[in-house]
Amino acid sequence: MSRTPIIAANWKMNIGPAEAKTFLAGLKNEFSCQCSKSCDVVIVPPYITIPAVMETLGDCKCIGVGAQNVSQYDNGAYTGEISTTMLNELGLAYVVLGHSERRQYFGETDAIINAKIKKTLAAKLTPIFCIGETKEERLGGKLEEVLKTQIVDGLKDLTPAEVETIVIAYEPVWAIGTGLTATSKEAQEAHAYIRGVLADTFGQATADKVRIQYGGSVKPENAAELMAQPDIDGALVGGAALKPDSFAAIVKASC
C-alpha cells in the first residue's frame, strides 16, 4: 500500500515571528519549493507565529502549515482559546491534537481530544492525532492496552471515511525530547499494532490508507532507518526541527 510520507516540524513553544522568517529563509536554501509528490512537509508554529510563516512561505505552497491545538468550542467566552473558524481564516491545513504535552500538562483527556478531532474534521482541517505510552506503561506491559484505548476513544463515533483522512503520530512519551529514540524495530511493532487496531475498528481498507508518523527524538541520523519501516509513514519532529539544516536533512532522508 503506498502512502505519501508526511514530515512535520512541531515547534512547540519556540520560534516567534521574527525568528520564523530567518528559519524559512534557511529552509528555502536547503530545498526547493518545487512541489514534490514524494513527501508532504508541514510546519506547525505557535499560533502567534502562523501569520509570519504563511506570509514568508508565499508561493512555496508545497509546505503545509498547521496549528498545535484548537478549541473544542465554536466561539464565545473561552479565554485563551482559538477556534477552527479562526484557523480556517488563516488558511491552515493541519491541527496537531492529543500531543502528550497537552495530555500531561493541560489535562486533555481522550474525550476532549475526540471532541477536538470532530471539530477539526468538520472544519475540513486534517488532524495529526498523537498517541503514545509512558515509560512506566511500556515497562508494565501496558503498551497495547494504552494505544488501543487512545485510538478507540480518541476516534470514537468517526466514520471510516473520516478516519482515513487523519494522520496519526505515534510518540512514545519516553522518547520525546530525551534523545532516546525507539529502535526501528520497536517503532515498527507499535505502528503495525496501531494499524491492526484501526483495521479491527474501521476496516482494513481504511487502516491501509491512514498515515502513521513516528515522533520522539527523530534526527537526521536516524530518520532514514525509521522511515524505511513498512508501517512508518513520516515523522513528527520537535527539537531537531528548530534548525532549518537539521529539519531539511530529516526531510531529505525521509522522502
Ligand X SMILES: O=C[C@H](O)COP(=O)(O)O
In the annotated binding site for substrate, the residues are: 10-12, 177, 217, 238-239
Q: Which of 5, 127, 154, 216 binds ligand X (CB under 6 A)?
A: 216
Binding positions for ligand X, 117-176, rule CB under 6 A: 171, 176
> Residue 177 interacts with ligand X (CB under 6 A)?
yes
Binding-site positions: 10-12, 177, 217, 238-239
CA dist., res. 149 & res. 38, Å (int): 32
> At closest approach, how far in Å is the CB of 45 from ligand X?
12
- Find out whether 134 and 180 touch, Cβ atoms under 8 Å: no
> Residue 238 interacts with ligand X (CB under 6 A)?
yes
What contacts 31, CB < 8 A, 6 or more positions away?
A: 248, 251, 252
CA dist., res. 45 & res. 51, Å (int): 10
> Residue 6 interacts with ligand X (CB under 6 A)?
no
The runs of H, that is alpha helices, within 31-107 are 50-57, 84-90, 100-106
> At closest approach, how far in Å is the CB of 239 from ligand X?
3
Is there a catalytic annotation at residue 30? no
DSSP string, 192-215: HHHHHHHHHHH-HHHHHH-EEEEE
| CB of 31 or CB of 172, closer to ligand X | 172
Stretch in the footprint of ligand X (CB under 6 A) among 32-40, 59-67, 200-208, 210-218: 210-218
Give the angle 1-116-111 at the CA atoms, nearest 5°: 95
Instruction: Give the active site residue among 99, 133, 164, 191.
Output: 99
- Find out whether 33 and 255 touch, Cβ atoms under 8 Å: no
Is there a catalytic annotation at residue 99? yes
| CB of 5 or CB of 202, closer to ligand X | 5
Q: How far is CA 212 from CA 17, 93, 129, in A?
A: 30, 17, 9
DSSP letter (8 states) at residue 61: T
- The residue at minimum Cβ distance from ligand X is 238
CA dist., res. 85 & res. 100, Å (int): 25
Instruction: Give the active site residue among 164, 171, 221, 225.
Output: 171
| CB of 132 or CB of 164, closer to ligand X | 132
Q: Which of 237, 250, 251, 253 binds ligand X (CB under 6 A)?
A: 237
Query: Which residues participate in catalysis according to the annotation?
Result: 99, 171
Judged by the rule CB under 6 A, the positions of this chain that interact with ligand X are 10, 171, 176-177, 215-218, 236-240
